[in-house]
A and B are shown apart, each in its own frame.
Chain A
Amino acid sequence: MRFGVVVFPGSNCEMDCYYVIDKVLREDVDYVWHQQTDVSSYDCLVLPGGFSYGDYLRCGAIARFSPVMEAVAAFAREGGLVIGICNGFQILLEAGLLPGAMLRNTSLSFICRFVNVRVENTDSPWTNAARPGQVLRIPIAHGEGNYTADKATHDRLVGEGRIVLRYCDEDGEPTGTSNPNGSLDNIAGICNEGFNVFGLMPHPERASEDTLGSTDGLLLWESVMAHYRGRG
C-alpha cells in the first residue's frame, strides 16, 4: 500500500506520519509537496497536523488554496482514501471535503494530552479493526478542535453513522468533562458520505508505538490497510 503525506508550508507532523507508516507499518510512503498536482500513484493520502501557513487568518483557510488540494479533492471524489489529522482535519473542513467548522477550544488554550475516544462506527475503512464501542487512548494537541455544525448537518452525521469517534471517559461514556474542547456532541472524528474521507483531531501517529505509551492509534492505520487489502 502506498501512502502520500501532504506537506504544506507550516505542517509539522508530516515527519511523524511518515515515520510511523515507514518504520512501524512498514508500508510505502512519500512526501507530497503542496504544489504537486498529481496524486494518482497513492492509495491513501494523509493530511498531517501542524500550522499550515501559520494558521494565519483561520486554521486551514489558506492551505485549502494550495495547488495540491484540487488534486486531493479529485482523488476523494473518485473514492480515494484521505485522512486529515488535526490541522489536516481543519483543512478538509475548509476545503468542503467534510462538513462543519472548527471553533477555538472552550478553554481558549492549546491542549496537549492523552484523551479517550470511543469508536462509534466500525463499519468504516478507518475503524474496521476496532470493536464497536472500543475506547482508544490517543493524544490530542490543538487550540481549535471545537467542532461545530448546523443542526441539519449534525442530524445527517448522526443518522448516517458518520460520527466515527467521540470523546469519552475511561468507561466509554461521552460525558461533558471528557470533552476536552467543547466540540458538538463530543465529536472527535467524522467521515464524508462515502466514508473514504476521514477527519479527526486526535493524533493516531502519536499512539502507534509501545515506547510512546499507547498503540491504540495503530488500530486506525491497520483498519485502513485491511480495507485496502480487502478491496485490492
Chain B
Amino acid sequence: MAELYQELGLTEDEYRDIILLLGREPSKVELGMYSLMWSEHCSYKSSKMVLSQLPTRASYVLQGPGENAGIIDIGGGLAVVFKMESHNHPSAVEPYQGAATGIGGIVRDIFTMGARPIACLDPLRFGTLDSPRMRYLFGGVIAGIAGYGNCLGIPTVGGDIYFDECYEGNILVNVMCIGIMPKGNLIRGQATGVGNAVVLMGNRTGRDGIGGASILASQEFDETSQEKRPSVQVGDPFTEKLLIEACLELLEKELLVGLQDLGAAGISCACSETAARGGVGMKIDLEQVPLREEMDPFEIMISESQERMLAIVEPEKLDEVLGVCERWGLNAVVIGEVTEGDTLEISWYGEKVVEVPASSLASGPVYDRPAERPAYLDEVQSFDASTLDHPSDLNRVLLDLVSGPNLCDKRMVYEQYDHMVQLNTVVYPGSDAGVLRVKGTSKALAVSCDGNSRYVYLDPYAGTQIVVAEAARNVVAAGGVPMALTNCLNFGNPERPDIFWQFKESVRGLADAARHLELPVVSGNVSFYNESFGTSIYPTPVMGMVGLIGNLAHRRTIAFPEEGLLVVMLGDTKDELGGSEYLKLIHDMVAGRPPEIDLRMEKGVQTTCIEGIRRGIILSAHDCSEGGAAVALLECCCGDGIGASLDVETGLAPIGWLFGESQSRFVVTLREEDLESLRVLADTRGVPLHVLGRTGGDRLVINDWIDLAVGEMRSAREGALEELLKG
C-alpha cells in the first residue's frame, strides 16, 4: 500500500490519517476512494478555509454552497438554479471531449436539483492563436461545446473569450448552466429512509475516465500530460438528453427521495456524499453495476464514465421508477440500499471490499497553506504610463483594438452554438448579457459571466472586485437587478506560497465586493494546479451573474436604438491606462495598477442605470470595460448601424479618455426631454453624469480624435477572428 498511496496522490500524513480513521490499513479499493475524495478537486482541502468568508445568504437564497448547485427564489413559485465549473485540464489534453463532458457535468448538476436546464454560458481562455496547437485547441473546445450542448437542446447564450500568453500551456474551459423549476420540485442530493433502494441510472460503467477529473485537476501539466488522454472521459449527449427527460419526469411524478449525479470520483463520490448529507449509511453490491467491459472493484469505484445518475427510491415506488427509465431507453438497476448508521459498505460477489464511515470520505482534510506576496507585484505596479510614446492616429488604434483577438466580434463562435432553442432567448450573445424570458410570466433573467485576469494579476484584491462589479454591471446594462453569483476560481499550484497569496487576496476581494453589492455567492468551483512546466496562469477568477428583469419590456441591449437620442456617460473617466487592452495590444505591456474600483460609486452607478431603465428613461445601455469608452461607443454604433457625434469635454489626454478602462461607467441613450429626470436619479446617488452628444448618421465622431464610418468599424471587428484562425 505504501507505494500505492503515493501513486494515487495522497501524502504520507493523509495516509496515516486514513489508518487512524479506520483503525487498520485500508484495502486497495478503500485507498482508491480516499485518494479521489480527498483530492483537491473533490475535497477543496486548500480552499475551504478561505472560502468560508464569502457571503452566501439572502432572503431569496433557497440553497447556498454545499449542494450540487445554488438556488434562488425569483417569485411566483419559481426558482432558478445555477452553477459554474471548470473542465480545464481534460480540455487541454483532449479539447473536444474535455469541453463536451464539461457541459455534460454542469448540466447534470442543474437537473440533479430538479430544474430544467435553460441556458449555458462558457468562459474560455486560450493562449495566442499563433500556434497550430492553440488553433487546434480552440477549434476543438468550441466544437465540443457545440456538439454536446446543441444536442441537449440547451441554448448557449453567453460567455467570454480571452487570449493571452499566460494560457499557452494551460487553457481554461469554464462552463455555467442555469435551470428553472417550480420551487416544489427541489430535490437534494441526499439519501434518507433506511431500506430505500439505491438506483444507478444511465450509461454503463467503463474504463474511460478512470480518475479523470480528480486526478487531472489536482496536478500540474508536464511532459507526461499527453499520456493522460485516456483519463479524459468520452461524452454521449444523447444519453444525457434521455437522462434529463427521465429524471425530470421522475421528479414531476414525485417518485424520488434523493438524486445525485456521478461526476468526479464516480460511484465513490455519489454514494459517500448522498449518505453523508442524509446522515445514513449505504450498502452497495458492486456486481450489480452494469459494465461495458470486464472491470475490477477498484476500477468500478473510481471510474468517471459519464451520463450516470444515482437515485434514492422508496421500495414501493421502485417498479414505477424502473418503468420510466425503460420507457426512455435507459439502464436502471438497484445497486444497494440505505442503511442505518454511517457506514458505507461495498461488496463484490459477497466479499466485503469496503467498509468505511461515509462522512470520512465526504469531509476530507483541511489545509491552511502558507501565503506570501509575490515579488512580481512591485515591479509591475511601479510602471509609469506617462513615459509612453502614444501613436497619433487614434482611428487606427481603435480599429486595431477591435480587430484584435480579445475585442473582435465573436459571432463565428456563438453561431456554432444553438442559442435560440427553448424559445426563451430574447437578447442574443454579443450584448452585455444574455436575456431569457421566463415563460408564463412577464419576467426575464439577465445572465453574464466575466473575468479579466489581467487586472487580477496586477492586483488580486482590487482586480477580483472589478470582476464581480463588471459581471453585475453587465446584468444591469441588460435591465436586470443582479441577484446572486456563482464562480469558478482558476489558479496555479496552491502549495506555492505566492500562488496561495493570490488566491487569498482574490477571495478577499470577491467577498468584499459581493458584500458591498449585496450579492450572495450561492455556488462555485475552485480549479488549482493550472500550471505547465512550473509557470502559472494569471489568477483567473471568473464570475457568473444572474439578474432578474421584473418586466420583460425593460430589457435593454447595447445598440443605439434610434437617431437623435442623447448619448450620456454615467460615471467618471480617470487617467487609468494600467492593465488596459490598449497597453497590451499596442505596447505589448501588462503593467501598472488596474483601474480604481470604489464599490460605493459602483453601486450608485448601477442603481442609477437600473432606475433609469425601469422608468423608461434609458433606452440602451452598455458598460465600459476592455478597450475603454471608445470601444464601448463603437460597439453601440455597430449594433444597429446608427452612428453618433460626440463632443467630449475632459482634462485627460485623448488616449486616456478613449482607451483607459475606468470602472463604474455606462454609456446610455435617452430622449433630450428625459435628461433632467436622469440627472435627478444620478445626483441623489452622487453619480457623475456627462452628456457626450447625439446619436445619428452613419459615422462615429468623437471630438477631432475619432471619425470612422460604421461600415468600416463593423468590417474591422467582424471576420477578424476568422483571419486570426488562419494563422
Contacts and interface: CB of A to CB of B under 8 A. Distances in A.
A112 interface: yes
Contact of B241 (A12, A20, A56, A205): A12
A60 interface: no
Chain A interface size range = 20 to 34
A141 B238 contact: no
B415 A113 contact: yes
A53 interface: yes
A143 B150 CA distance: 10
Nearest to A211: B426
Interface string A49-71: 11101111000000000000000
A16 B329 contact: no
B377 interface: no
Contact of A16 (B151, B414, B417, B421): B421
Contacts of A109: 143, 146, 416
B644 interface: no
Given A9-B238, A51-B237, A141 B150 contact: yes
Contacts, number: 80
A56 to B, nearest CB: 7
A133 B143 CA distance: 36
Given A51-B237, A111-B416, A141-B418, A9 B426 contact: no
Given A141-B421, A211-B437, A9 B242 contact: yes
Contacts of A166: none
B620 to A, nearest CB: 16
A110 B236 contact: no
A56 B238 CA distance: 9
A76 to B, nearest CB: 26
Interface string A68-104: 0000000000000000000000000000000000000
Interface in A35-61: 49-51, 53-56
Interface residues of B, number: 30
B131 interface: no
Contact of B422 (A16, A112, A209): A16
Centre residue among B151, B423, B426 by max chain A CB count within 10 A: B423
Main SS at interface, chain A? mixed
B439 interface: yes
Contacts of B423: 16, 19-20, 205-206, 209, 212
Given A19-B423, A205-B423, A211-B426, A110 B146 contact: yes
Contact of A50 (B146, B153, B242, B415): B153
Contacts of A9: 238, 241-242, 328-329
Contact of A51 (B150, B415, B416): B150
Given A51-B237, A141-B421, A205-B423, A12 B152 contact: yes
Interface in A140-160: 141, 143
B420 interface: yes
B83 interface: no
A56 B426 CA distance: 31
Interface string B540-566: 000000000000100000000000000
Nearest to B236: A54
A213 B420 CA distance: 11
B419 interface: yes
A162 to B, nearest CB: 28
A139 interface: yes
Contacts of A56: 238
B64 to A, nearest CB: 31
Interface in B393-433: 414-423, 425-426
Nearest to B424: A212
A55 B241 CA distance: 12
B653 to A, nearest CB: 41
A16 B147 CA distance: 20
Interface in B292-340: 328-329
A15 interface: yes
A194 interface: no
A112 B439 contact: no
Contact of B439 (A19, A55, A111, A141): A19
A105 B241 CA distance: 24
A112 B237 contact: no
B150 A110 contact: yes
Contact of B418 (A15, A112, A212): A112
A203 B242 CA distance: 23
A10 interface: yes
Nearest to A16: B423
Nearest to A205: B423
A227 B208 CA distance: 54
Interface in B425-447: 425-426, 437, 439
Contacts of A12: 151-153, 241, 421
A182 to B, nearest CB: 16
Centre residue among A112, A139, A206, A211 by max chain B CB count within 10 A: A112
A13 interface: yes
Contact of A53 (B146, B238, B416): B238
Contacts of B425: 212
Given A12-B153, A211-B552, A51 B241 contact: yes
A34 to B, nearest CB: 10
Centre residue among B422, B425, B552 by max chain A CB count within 10 A: B422
Contacts of B239: 54
Contact of B238 (A19, A51, A111): A51
A205 B424 CA distance: 12
Contacts of A16: 421-423
Given A12-B153, A13-B153, A51-B151, A112 B420 contact: yes
Interface in B223-245: 236-239, 241-242
Nearest to B238: A54
A10 B422 contact: no
B139 to A, nearest CB: 9
Contacts of A110: 146-147, 150, 416-418
A112 B151 contact: no
A55 B147 CA distance: 11
B153 to A, nearest CB: 3
B426 A212 contact: yes
Contacts of B143: 109
Contacts of B419: 112
Contacts of B238: 9-10, 51, 53-54, 56
Contacts of B236: 54
Contacts of B439: 19
A7 to B, nearest CB: 9
B151 A55 contact: yes
Given A9-B242, A51-B237, A15 B417 contact: no
B129 to A, nearest CB: 17
Centre residue among B146, B414, B415, B419 by max chain A CB count within 10 A: B415
Interface string B128-156: 00000000000000010011001111000
Nearest to B428: A213
A111 B418 CA distance: 8
Contacts of B147: 110
Contacts of A209: 423
A211 B421 CA distance: 14
Contacts of A20: 423
Nearest to B417: A112
A141 B420 contact: yes
A111 B419 CA distance: 10
Given A12-B151, A53-B238, A109-B416, 9 more contacts: A54-B238, A112-B150, A112-B414, A113-B415, A139-B420, A203-B420, A206-B420, A209-B423, A211-B552
14 contacts: A9-B238, A9-B328, A13-B421, A16-B423, A19-B439, A51-B237, A54-B237, A109-B416, A112-B419, A112-B420, A141-B418, A203-B420, A212-B420, A212-B423
Interface of A: 9-10, 12-13, 15-16, 19-20, 49-51, 53-56, 109-113, 139, 141, 143, 203, 205-206, 209, 211-213
